[in-house]
């Protein structure tokens, strides 16, 4: 009887070993501890595509706050998108909307409040109590956070700067102070980007591109690093034409477009960077065999 039990144990052990080994070989094994590192490593070995977190969204903290930026730095995002605006007293802060109503416990235009007034508000409207002490961050605070991260980690994160309402000179000065200017990407209107080019000739500009007809005029005017291309208008032909000019392709996959199918399609089209509200979903998509 003891002999039978011992042999049964051995059979079960080897059966479990074979099952787990088979799952590992065919790509179905799950990470045992740090899933973020697992999925990120799977991602970087396959599509060669970067990811930008829209307003720093991490799905664990409110948008455009230091809490969400800390989270996506831990998730090793390639870019953090920030929206830069100017206060009444000329300070640069990070907030998407021109008014305070949607994301803070204040109201009215941002431009009519001083930085001291804004710092008294919570930037976590609608979030749970954990985040109610989060404030509207300054550009200085965000740059300090990212610079400190990059100084101590091999995985670097860059800024995707959406220039909502900010003069180029002070913005360039702050990014230069923290050593982030050269790797940052700047999005804005063509006129704004042209004025930014005058202040920082080597800045990486990213105008929008709606169709092929606009492309050469924008290249001649702005010498862009990248184009922000509408997902609806992006085709294999357009992506190829942009790359032939040694220009990168960025696309927003947001809202209804923020899906695994579109991540995989973007990779097939050769998109250089996708912007998403769901960073870990992107990583998970490329950790499965179905997208390879």
SS3 assignment, position 78: coil
Find tokens 């802060």 and name the residue.
93
**What is the spatial distance between Cα 219 and Cα 77, in angstroms, rounded to a whole number?**
28
Burial class (CB in 10 A: 0-12, 13-18, 19+), 19: exposed
CA-closest candidate to residue 123, choices 52, 188, 69? 69
Is 243 a catalytic site residue? Answer: no
- Chain length of the chain: 292
Token duo for residue 89: 């007293």
CA 132 to chain centre: 23
The catalytic position among 20, 54, 152, 278 is 54
Is 278 a catalytic site residue? Answer: no
Q: Give 284's contacts (C-beta < 8 A, 6+ positions apart).
A: 39, 260
The catalytic position among 96, 152, 153, 223 is 96
**What is the spatial distance between Cα 152 and Cα 229, in angstroms, rounded to a whole number?**
33
CA-closest candidate to residue 56, choices 146, 132, 167? 146
Which residues carry out catalysis? Answer: 54, 96
């Amino acid at each position: 009887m003891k002999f039978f039990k011992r042999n049964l144990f051995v059979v079960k052990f080897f059966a479990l070993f074979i099952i787990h080994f088979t799952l590992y070989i065919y790509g179905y094994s799950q990470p045992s501890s740090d899933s973020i590192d697992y999925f990120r490593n799977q991602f970087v070995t396959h599509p060669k595509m970067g990811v930008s977190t829209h307003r720093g969204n991490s799905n664990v903290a409110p948008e455009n706050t230091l809490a969400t930026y800390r989270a996506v730095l831990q998730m090793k995002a390639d870019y953090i998108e920030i929206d830069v605006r100017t206060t009444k007293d000329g300070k640069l802060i990070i907030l998407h909307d021109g008014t305070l109503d949607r994301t803070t416990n204040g109201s009215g235009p941002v431009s009519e409040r001083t930085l001291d007034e804004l710092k008294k508000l919570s930037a976590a409207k609608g979030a749970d109590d954990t985040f109610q002490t989060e404030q509207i961050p300054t550009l200085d605070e965000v740059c300090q956070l990212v610079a400190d991260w990059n100084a101590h980690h091999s995985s670097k994160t860059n800024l995707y700067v959406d220039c909502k309402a900010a003069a180029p000179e002070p913005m360039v000065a702050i990014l230069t102070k923290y050593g982030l200017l050269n790797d940052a990407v700047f999005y804005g209107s063509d006129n704004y980007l042209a004025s930014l080019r005058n202040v920082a000739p080597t800045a990486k500009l990213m105008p929008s591109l709606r169709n092929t007809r606009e492309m050469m005029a924008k290249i001649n005017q702005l010498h862009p690093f990248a184009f922000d291309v509408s997902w609806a208008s992006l085709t294999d032909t357009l992506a190829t034409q942009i790359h032939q000019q040694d220009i990168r392709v960025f696309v927003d996959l947001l809202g209804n477009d923020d899906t695994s199918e579109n991540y995989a399609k973007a990779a097939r089209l050769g998109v250089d960077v996708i912007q998403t509200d769901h960073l870990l979903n992107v990583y998970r998509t490329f950790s499965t065999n179905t997208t390879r």
